[in-house]
Amino acid sequence: MIKSVPEIDFHAGMECYCTNFAGINGTIKETNEEFQVSEIIDYTFLKPPYFSSVQNNEHKFPLYLLEKHNIDSNHAVIEIKKQSGLKLRIMGIKDAKAETSQYASCEKTKNLPKCIITSKTKLTLLGFLRTPLSKSALIGNNFKIKINQPSDNNIHPFLLELNKIANFYGLQRFGSERMVTHLVGKALLERNYNKAIEYLLSYTSKYDSKFSKEIREKSRDPKNYQKLIKILPKGMDLERLILYTLVKGKDSIAVIRSIPINIRRLFVQAYQSYIFNKCLSNALLCNEDIQRCKDGDLCFEIEKPLVFGKIRRFREGIDSNNDVIPAIRLVGYNYQPGKNRFDNITKRILSDENISPTAFYLKDLQELSLQMGFRQTLLCCSEFSHFGMLDLSFKLPKGSYATTLLRELIKPIDPIQAGF
C-alpha cells in the first residue's frame, strides 16, 4: 500500500492508495470522446411485457435516451426543461467532461416529444414503460477511456492488484478542482446556513483563475452583489441564483432553496461520502482486509457481476466469503452503529468531526435530510480490457467511480492537471 497521496485526494478523504503499483502517469479527458460512459440497466426493462415501442393503456410512461457532452447530468436536465418544459427523471449523475449516454423517464404521458436537441444534449424517445423508470433498474456503467502519454503501457502488475481497489467516491463527488461540496454539506448539518452560502460564493482553490478569485473575493461584500450579477461568467449559474435571492433580501434558507433541488441535495450527500472515504482510508491504514468479511461485518450477497443482493451480518465459520462482499454503513439520521470494525471507525470520525447522526435530519430543509445507506468496500471492476497506448474498457457497479480505478493506475502527481 502507498500512503503518500496528492493533497486534493486527502481533502476528499482518500488518504492512501490500495495498490503497490508505481503508476504510469499520463492524462485523461483531453477530449470528451476519450472518456465515454454508458449506463447498463436491467434488460427486462427494455423488453415486453415491461416495455413497448408504442404507447398504450398499459405502457404510458416514456423511456428516453439522454446523450450529452460538456455538461453534467443535472445541468443537462435543467437545460432540457428550459427548452421543452419536460421534467426528466434520471438514475445517475454523469460528469461534464465526458461523452455519456443514460436513460431517463418522466411523469408526463401526453404530447411527448420524440427528440429534443440542445447545444450539448440529445434526447431520444425509445418507447414506453408500465411505470416511470426507477433507480432500481440501474445496474452499472460501461466505460471506454483513453490515457494519453503514459510512461509505460505494461500494466500487467496492476491487473494483479485490480481486485484490491477500494470503492472510494471520486473527486467529482466533492467538486473536483473546487473541493467545496462536502464543506457546504457539513455547514448545513451544523445549521450554519450563512457559512454554507459563504462557501458557495467565496471559496477558492489554487485551480481558480485570477478572474474567478477576484469575483469570489468581491462576493464577500454585499455591496458588490448587484454588480457581480452582471459580470458572472456562464459557468457560475448557481452563484447567480444565490446573488439574485440575496439582493431580494431573502433569508438564508430561501437562498439555499434557490438552488435547484437535484443540485442542493448533493451537498449533504457529499459530506456523507466524505465520511465513507475517511472510514475506508482509516481501515486500510490500519491494515484491515477490506476484501474479506470478518465476524460481525455487514455484507452484501453477490448475485452476479455488478449486482448485489440483500445485506446481512457475516458469521465467521458459518458463512462463506466466496459469495459476499463487506459493506459499510453510510451515516444518516437513522444511523444505528453496530460493533463491527467499520462502525467503530465511523463513530471515531463522527466524534472528530463533532457531527451527530441526528444532524442529518434538517428540520428547516427537510428535503435535504439523509437516511442511512450501505456501500460496498470494493470497486468490483468487471470485464477489464486494455489495448494500444493506452485504451481501457471496463464495467463498474452503479455508484462507483472510474476515476477511482484510474488514480490507482496512473498515480497522478496533480490529479486536476491530469484530467481528474
pLDDT, tens digit, 9 for 90 and up, residues 193-249: 999 999 999 999 999 999 999 999 999 999 999 999 999 998 899 999 999 999 999
Would you say residue 1 has pLDDT above 80?
no
Would you say residue 6 has pLDDT above 90?
yes
Total Cβ atoms within 10 A of residue 235: 10
By the 8 A CB rule, do 345 and 282 touch? Answer: yes
Q: Label residue 147 by pLDDT band (50, 70, 90).
A: very high
For residue 99, give every residue at least 6 positions away whose Cβ sits within 8 Å of its Cβ, in sequence order, or none: 32, 33, 35, 36, 37, 67, 68, 69
Burial of 110 (0-12, 13-18, 19+ CB in 10 A): exposed
Would you say residue 327 has pLDDT above 90?
yes
pLDDT, position 389: 85
CATH code of the domain made up of 267-376: 3.30.2350.20
What amino acid occupies position 371?
Answer: Q
Tens digits of residue pLDDT in 155-192:
999 999 999 999 999 999 999 999 999 999 999 999 99
By the 8 A CB rule, do 367 and 261 touch? Answer: yes
Q: Label residue 372 by pLDDT band (50, 70, 90).
A: very high
- Which of 212, 349, 164, 363 is closest to 271 using CA atoms? 349
Q: Higher pLDDT residue, 187 or 320? A: 187
For residue 298, give every residue at least 6 positions away whose Cβ sits within 8 Å of its Cβ, in sequence order, or none: 311, 312, 313, 314, 326, 327, 328, 329, 338, 340, 342, 374
pLDDT, position 3: 77
By the 8 A CB rule, do 155 and 381 touch? Answer: no
pLDDT, position 9: 98
Q: What is the DSSP string of 134-162?
A: -GGGEEEEEEEEE-BS-S----HHHHTTG
3-state class of 287 per DSSP? coil
Pick the CATH number of 34-140 from 1.20.120.1150, 3.40.50.300, 3.40.50.2300, 3.30.70.3160: 3.30.70.3160
User: Average pLDDT in the 397-407 region?
Assistant: 98
pLDDT, position 322: 86
What amino acid occupies position 177?
Answer: E
Separation in Å, CA 35 to CA 130, 177, 417: 33, 18, 16
3-state class of 39 per DSSP? strand
By the 8 A CB rule, do 336 and 265 touch? Answer: no
- Which of 117, 116, 111, 134 is closest to 60 using CA atoms? 111
pLDDT, position 107: 87
Q: Where are the domains of the chain?
A: 34-140, 181-261, 267-376
42-46-50-55 Cα dihedral, nearest 10 degrees: 150
Its CATH architecture, for the domain 181-261, is Orthogonal Bundle (1.10)
User: Average pLDDT in the 44-55 region?
Assistant: 94
